Amino acid sequence: MPERVDIFTDGACRGNPGPGGWAALLRYGDAETTIHGAVMQTTNNRMELQAALSALQKLKRPCSVRITTDSEYLMKGILEWMPNWKLKGWKTSSRKPVKNQDLWQQLDRQVEMHDVTWNWVKGHAGHVENERVDRLANEAIDKLLQ
């Protein structure tokens, strides 16, 4: 049975587009690690994707993963929209290129390596881990702007 890893992710942006940050908390048993980063000019959606992608890239072998996010864009993209995008050559239903295609494709490759389940939580609603990664994403922006 693959190891179980819980991942909590969030992205933040000051202006949209504008300076953005992302963060993830990875928990395996009693062990935890956090990762984060920031970009000077980006969008909130890109930061949400980057958080999940970066967390999965940290895993060294196939795992059973539960990702918790407050991003409906990430959840709907991975669970509802992506299958059709792939069938249509990464085009939307209106035949336009998928936005953030580079990150979606990388995320798709990472998800294929693991047994991933997705969990959505309401943002800024007191979920301890979600509040923690939100804080880290915003601190990453603060550091970038210093």
For residue 57, the SS3 value is helix
Beta bridge partners of 64: 4, 115
Beta bridge partners of 21: 12, 38
What pLDDT, on the 0 to 100 scale, is given for residue 57? 98
Give yes or no: 134 in active site: yes
Regions of the chain with pLDDT less than 50: none
What pLDDT, on the 0 to 100 scale, is given for residue 92? 92
Give yes or no: 102 in active site: no
What pLDDT, on the 0 to 100 scale, is given for residue 2? 65
List the domain range (segments joined by +) for residue 78. 3-145
For 86, the token pair is 């792939």
Give yes or no: 30 in active site: no
Give yes or no: 48 in active site: yes
Give yes or no: 80 in active site: no
Give yes or no: 11 in active site: yes
What pLDDT, on the 0 to 100 scale, is given for residue 3? 81
What pLDDT, on the 0 to 100 scale, is given for residue 132? 98
What pLDDT, on the 0 to 100 scale, is given for residue 122? 95
What pLDDT, on the 0 to 100 scale, is given for residue 111? 96
Strands 63-69 and 3-13 turn out to be parallel
Nearest to 138 by CA among 37, 8, 21: 21
**Structural domain total, the chain:** 1
Q: Express each pLDDT in 38-65 by its tens digit.
A: 999 999 999 999 999 999 999 999 999 9
Of 20, 70, 77, 129, the active-site residue reads 70
CATH of the domain at 93: 3.30.420.10
Of 21, 37, 48, 129, the active-site residue reads 48
